[in-house]
Amino acid sequence: MKAFVLARYGKQRPLELTEWPTPELREDEVLVEVRAAGVNLLDAKLRSGEFKFILPYRMPLVLGHDVAGVVVRVGPRVRGFKVGDEVYARTDDFRIGTFAQFVPVREASLAHKPKNLTMAEAASIPLVGLTAWQALVVRAGLKPGQKVFVQAGSGGVGSFAIQLARHLGATVATTAGPTSLALVKGLGAELAIDYRTQDFEALLRDQDLVLHSQDAETLEKSLRVLKRGARLVSIAGPPDPAFGREIGAPGFVRLGMRLLSSGIRRRARALGIDYSFLFMKANGGQLGEITRLVESGAIRPVVDRVFDFESTNEALAYVESGRAKGKVVIVTEGPSPSPDGLG
């Protein structure tokens, strides 16, 4: 099969389009023919080696976490999917590789594609949708009437989180550039703050939840807009000791996480705020819940640009530029050759 392969870590290092063995299928997996793949900043960070202590991948590596496509083979233990099903997923860590013609996905991480979406639209959802779900629903237990501040509302996670928070009955504030204010208001943000000319700290107070995705300075300021007993969930870090235990990180990595996050955890405790770091996990059950929201019209995908498969490097560069409003997706031209003859 054809795949875009990372030979070794390197910042802005181009992926190499090459022939690559079709992955062997495990008993609890299905083989998905990739029709579309979401492109995420996580892919760029993995390429540069930023997560090599948290996610120690072996090189060479096929990148790509989001997939929408068609099931072409099922493992003997799979019961919920069959050949021909249209599906989508965020692939599991250490089993990624959606920048390719075929990718194996665990049944537990897979969901049926929303019937009202194209393949490209569906591929834009899994990683950002699950991130928002696990932050707002699982971690924070967001309730009707609460106030949530979603940073970077026009981004992939932000554009989904705004809609999910509104569906849950929360009041949403967000930041965006001047050309994106109308977009985030249309998604459900009651207060859209122009980060270039306005200071969110001067406009917000007594928030119940902050979904943090920006830099360290923004993280510190976020503490001061929360009320006592509130939560700050960060998807940008620093990682906390609980995350180190969750992933079974080596002792020296857990110590590093403890030291890196000690300052923000100490200041959060002093203010009566719960700080936690979230690194989302693949989850087919949660993705199924998201499917129902999408099919009901409660949430819609926000896709900025669609690139063809051969332009995967250009798509990754565009995501790294920070200019995307919503998600970036790559698509194949159509059905791929049978996986049986692709090595």
State what percent of residues in the chain have pLDDT above 70.
97
pLDDT at residue 217 tops 70: yes
Average pLDDT over residues 210-216: 97
Q: Where are the beta strands (DSSP E) in 197-292?
A: 207-212, 226-234, 274-277
Full DSSP string of 129-184? HHHHHIIIIIIS---TT-EEEESSTTSHHHHHHHHHHHHTT-EEEEEE-GGGHHHH
Q: What Rg, from alpha-carbon coordinates, does the chain have?
A: 20
- Confidence grade of residue 341 (pLDDT, cut at 50, 70, 90): very low
Vertex 213 angle, CA 173 and 52, to 5°? 165
Q: Is 260 helix (H, G, I), strand (E, B) or coil?
A: helix
The topology under which CATH files domain 127-277 is: Rossmann fold (3.40.50)
The reply to whether 2-125+301-341 and 127-277 are identical in fold is: no
pLDDT, position 12: 86
Token digits of residue 144: 């009707």
- Confidence grade of residue 342 (pLDDT, cut at 50, 70, 90): very low
330 CB neighbour count, 10 Å cutoff: 27
pLDDT, position 336: 67
Average pLDDT over residues 32-41: 98
pLDDT, position 335: 67
pLDDT at residue 338 tops 80: no
Rounded CA separation 37/97 (Å): 10
Average pLDDT over residues 294-313: 98
Rounded CA separation 296/280 (Å): 24
Average pLDDT over residues 174-197: 97
Residue 178 to residues 72, 117, 152, 163, 175, Cα–Cα distance (Å): 45, 29, 12, 20, 10
Residues 104-135: tens digit of each pLDDT: 999 999 999 999 999 999 999 999 999 999 99
Rounded CA separation 132/67 (Å): 18
Residues 221-264: tens digit of each pLDDT: 999 999 999 999 999 999 999 999 988 889 989 999 999 999 99
The topology under which CATH files domain 2-125+301-341 is: Quinone Oxidoreductase; Chain A, domain 1 (3.90.180)
Domain chopping of the chain, boundaries:
2-125+301-341, 127-277
Q: What is the bridge-based pairing of β-strands 110-112 and 61-62?
A: unpaired
Cβ neighbours of residue 257 closer than 8 Å, sequence gap 6 or more = 238, 239, 240, 241, 243, 244, 249
Backbone dihedral angles phi then psi of residue 244, each to the nearest 5 degrees:
-60, -40
Rounded CA separation 306/159 (Å): 17
Helix (H) / strand (E) element for 106: namely strand 102-106
Residues 256-293: tens digit of each pLDDT: 999 999 999 999 999 999 999 999 999 999 999 999 99
Q: What rounded mean pLDDT belongs to the chain?
A: 95
101 burial (CB, 10 Å; 0-12 / 13-18 / 19+) is: buried
Residues 44-79: tens digit of each pLDDT: 999 999 998 889 999 999 999 999 999 999 999 999
Rounded CA separation 80/257 (Å): 38
Q: Is 120 helix (H, G, I), strand (E, B) or coil?
A: helix
Vertex 118 angle, CA 343 and 106, to 5°? 45
Residues 148-165: tens digit of each pLDDT: 999 999 999 999 999 999
pLDDT at residue 175 tops 70: yes
pLDDT, position 340: 64
- Return the exposure string of 164-181: e unless at least 16 CB atoms fall within 10 Å of the residue's CB, then b: bbbebebbbbbbbbeebb
Residue 335 to residues 101, 200, 339, Cα–Cα distance (Å): 9, 47, 11
Q: Contact at 8 Å (CB) between 300 and 186? A: no
